[in-house]
């Protein structure tokens, strides 16, 4: 198990824990490169000479020591680095254009309304009603959502959501099946590439759940959401994503310069392009990607690697058979080192046989893992090579990100794949934003009780999007018409606004409320009562010549 105190729960990764060798389906092809799907994979011929000895690499210490920020920012600041103002403007523009082209009607949405729409999605992800319409129904109504936008308007925007022109002329030679959402993907990826990587990184697959029609849909057995669109992701071991790439179907994904590595190797070489070279940064991957040739290519550029490896990719290495390993029992192992001491292969007997390859760790210092003994009916400790322990410790980065995204997903049922991908990457950006915040909070020395968990972080961003730049509605009659005064019941204690809204300096207007009993001023240092309310924050504040709490409350 992995335990991260900031997640506040235990997490058992789907594929990160090595307990036995597994076989997976043949590797599909992949995007952003255009070599034939028949490009050769890593050769299985005996191109290397292997020796049975202890692995003793010369230099495996990481020389990379980046500077990390130590100042915590507001949640919306982190999220806005992924979903920029330009993204919201483009969403509004192309959504309007799509409705006009499709229906001949005018939707007239704005970037402010699109922000409100995403704020509603985030809040829905926290509350998790089984049906979207329940947020507006009388018995289950949520004012923060229902008062922000009508249900018909919400579904109209969701059904038309676009980030590019659906009718634009495209390059006939382009193989990009995700061009409709490419501007958003590039904006999110651009921010990911700016993040400071850690020493340990993992590369794995992520699924965008979708059961509708799309050309590049995959079915990956063993995933929590096996059906959908496949994305290759590189994360630090703490789950923070640094790069990603979509799989676009058969016949794509193999780079010309890396054709000898096959699909998996080509993907890895592209995902590590932004990593510092010659620093002995370490990458972990599963047998989907691992090959001896790939690890040698990575070592040439100063990146070390470890991963599970398939039995048909051992590059001619003869090791103990599965039968021999099983006879020796759980905890037995076999080690082979390439003649030039660059790569080590380790076979370990757990409940099944596990094959590992590495350029920085072999059997090393033997540790132990706890397993259940059927014969003794108790848990027993068995020997475990250091390379397996190290892999289990650092491989789960992408699975951690998947887990965080699954906590409060911005997911609604839709038949339109662009809407599904947009909502998935909004959740992706939000989760990455929280992980950025955690890094800064830990660096700044914040206590756990002072640190926002994922639910509080997502709720904060949602409230900011629902309230930031929210236009004031004109209510009642003009000010010169005093023929009727409508009295409204004022709640005794409205919650204080989040600091991002409190100090934004937008639409904070005082309102004189005609009421019998004055309300307590909500500024922290004041104990007076007032009949003046902030229209945006919906709280009472003093506004007199002696007490200007209204100004002081909204000023840092």
Does 218 share its domain with 350? yes
* Cβ–Cβ < 8 Å for 445, 493: no
Does 222 share its domain with 133? no
Does 234 share its domain with 383? yes
Does 215 share its domain with 342? yes
Does 413 share its domain with 393? no
Does 36 share its domain with 153? no
Does 47 share its domain with 145? no
Does 352 share its domain with 371? yes
Last residue of a domain, one of 365, 397, 429: 397
Does any domain span residue 210? Answer: yes
Does any domain span residue 403? Answer: no
Does any domain span residue 336? Answer: yes
Does any domain span residue 185? Answer: no
Q: In angstroms, rounded to a whole number, what is the distance separating the alpha carbons of residues 302 and 325?
A: 34
Sign of the CA dihedral running 317, 320, 323, 326: negative
Per-residue pLDDT of the chain (556 residues; tens, 9 = 90+): 343 434 433 334 444 455 543 333 333 333 444 444 444 444 445 578 899 999 988 888 888 887 776 788 999 999 999 999 999 999 999 999 999 999 999 999 999 999 999 999 999 999 999 999 999 999 999 999 999 999 999 999 999 999 999 888 777 777 889 999 999 999 999 999 999 999 999 999 999 999 888 888 888 888 888 899 999 999 999 999 999 999 988 777 788 888 889 999 999 999 999 999 999 999 999 999 999 999 999 999 999 999 999 999 998 899 999 999 999 999 999 999 998 889 999 999 999 999 999 999 999 999 999 999 988 899 999 999 999 999 999 999 999 999 999 999 997 788 899 999 999 999 999 999 999 999 999 988 889 999 999 999 999 999 999 987 655 444 455 445 444 444 444 445 678 888 888 988 888 999 999 988 999 999 988 989 999 999 998 999 999 988 999 999 999 8
Q: In angstroms, rounded to a whole number, what is the distance separating the alpha carbons of residues 305 and 316?
A: 20
Q: In angstroms, rounded to a whole number, what is the distance separating the alpha carbons of residues 443 and 304?
A: 27
Does 383 share its domain with 235? yes
Does 345 share its domain with 485? no
* Cβ–Cβ < 8 Å for 107, 160: yes
Does any domain span residue 356? Answer: yes
Does any domain span residue 187? Answer: no
Does any domain span residue 30? Answer: yes
Last residue of a domain, one of 346, 376, 397: 397
Last residue of a domain, one of 347, 370, 397: 397
Count of domains for the chain: 3
Domain assignment of residue 533, given as a range: 479-556
Among 552, 555, 515, 554, which residue's Cα sits nearest to residue 532?
Answer: 515
Q: Two tokens at 147?
A: 């008062």
Does 498 share its domain with 459? no
Does 318 share its domain with 418? no
Does any domain span residue 277? Answer: yes
């Amino acid at each position: 198990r992995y335990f991260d105190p900031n997640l506040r729960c235990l997490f058992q990764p789907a594929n990160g824990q090595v307990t036995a060798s597994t076989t997976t389906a043949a590797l599909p092809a992949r995007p952003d490169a255009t070599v034939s799907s028949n490009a050769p994979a890593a050769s299985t011929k005996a191109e290397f000479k292997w020796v049975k000895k202890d692995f003793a690499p010369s230099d495996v210490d990481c020389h990379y020591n980046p500077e990390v920020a130590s100042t915590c920012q507001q949640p919306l600041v982190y999220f806005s680095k992924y979903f920029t103002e330009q993204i919201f403007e483009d969403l509004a523009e192309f959504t309007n254009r799509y409705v006009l082209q499709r229906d001949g009607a005018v939707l007239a949405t704005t970037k402010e309304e699109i922000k409100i729409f995403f704020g509603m999605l985030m809040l829905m992800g926290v509350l998790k009603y089984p049906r979207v319409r329940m947020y507006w129904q009388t018995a289950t109504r949520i004012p923060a959502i229902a008062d922000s936008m009508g249900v018909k308007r919400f579904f109209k925007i969701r059904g038309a959501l676009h980030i590019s022109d659906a009718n634009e002329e495209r390059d006939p030679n382009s193989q990009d099946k995700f061009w409709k959402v490419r501007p958003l993907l590039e904006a999110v990826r651009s921010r990911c590439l700016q993040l400071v990587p850690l020493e340990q990184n993992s590369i794995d697959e992520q699924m965008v759940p979708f059961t509708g029609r799309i050309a590049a849909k995959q079915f990956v057995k063993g995933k929590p959401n096996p059906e959908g669109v496949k994305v290759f992701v590189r994360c630090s071991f703490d789950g923070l994503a640094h790069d990603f790439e979509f799989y676009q179907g058969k016949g794509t994904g193999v780079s010309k310069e890396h054709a000898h590595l096959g699909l998996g190797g080509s993907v890895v070489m592209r995902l590590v392009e932004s990593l510092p070279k010659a620093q002995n940064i370490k990458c972990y991957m599963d047998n989907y990607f691992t090959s001896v040739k790939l690890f040698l290519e990575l070592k040439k550029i100063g990146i070390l690697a470890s991963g599970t490896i398939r039995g048909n990719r051992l590059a001619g290495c003869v090791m103990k058979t599965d039968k021999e390993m099983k006879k020796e029992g759980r905890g037995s192992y076999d080690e082979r080192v390439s003649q030039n001491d660059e790569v080590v292969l380790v076979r370990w007997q757990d409940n099944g046989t596990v094959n590992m390859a590495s350029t920085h760790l072999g059997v090393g210092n033997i540790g132990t893992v706890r397993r259940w003994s059927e014969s003794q009916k108790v848990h027993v400790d068995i020997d475990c090579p250091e390379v397996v322990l190290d892999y289990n410790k650092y491989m789960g980065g992408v699975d951690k990100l998947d887990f965080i995204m699954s906590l409060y997903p911005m997911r609604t049922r839709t038949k339109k794949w662009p809407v599904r991908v947009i909502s998935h990457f909004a959740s992706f950006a939000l989760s990455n934003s929280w992980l950025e915040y955690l890094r800064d909070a830990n660096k700044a020395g914040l206590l756990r009780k002072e640190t926002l968990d994922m639910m509080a972080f997502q709720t904060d961003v949602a409230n900011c999007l629902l309230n930031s730049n929210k236009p004031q509605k004109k209510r009642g009659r003009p000010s010169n018409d005093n023929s009727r005064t409508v009295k409204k019941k004022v709640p005794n204690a409205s919650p204080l606004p989040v600091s991002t809204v409190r100090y934004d300096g937008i639409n904070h207007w005082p309102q004189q409320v005609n009421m019998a009993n004055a309300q307590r001023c909500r500024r922290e240092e004041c104990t007076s009562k007032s009949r003046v309310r902030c229209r945006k924050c919906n709280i009472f504040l003093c506004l007199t010549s002696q007490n200007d709490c209204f100004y002081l409350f909204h000023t840092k």
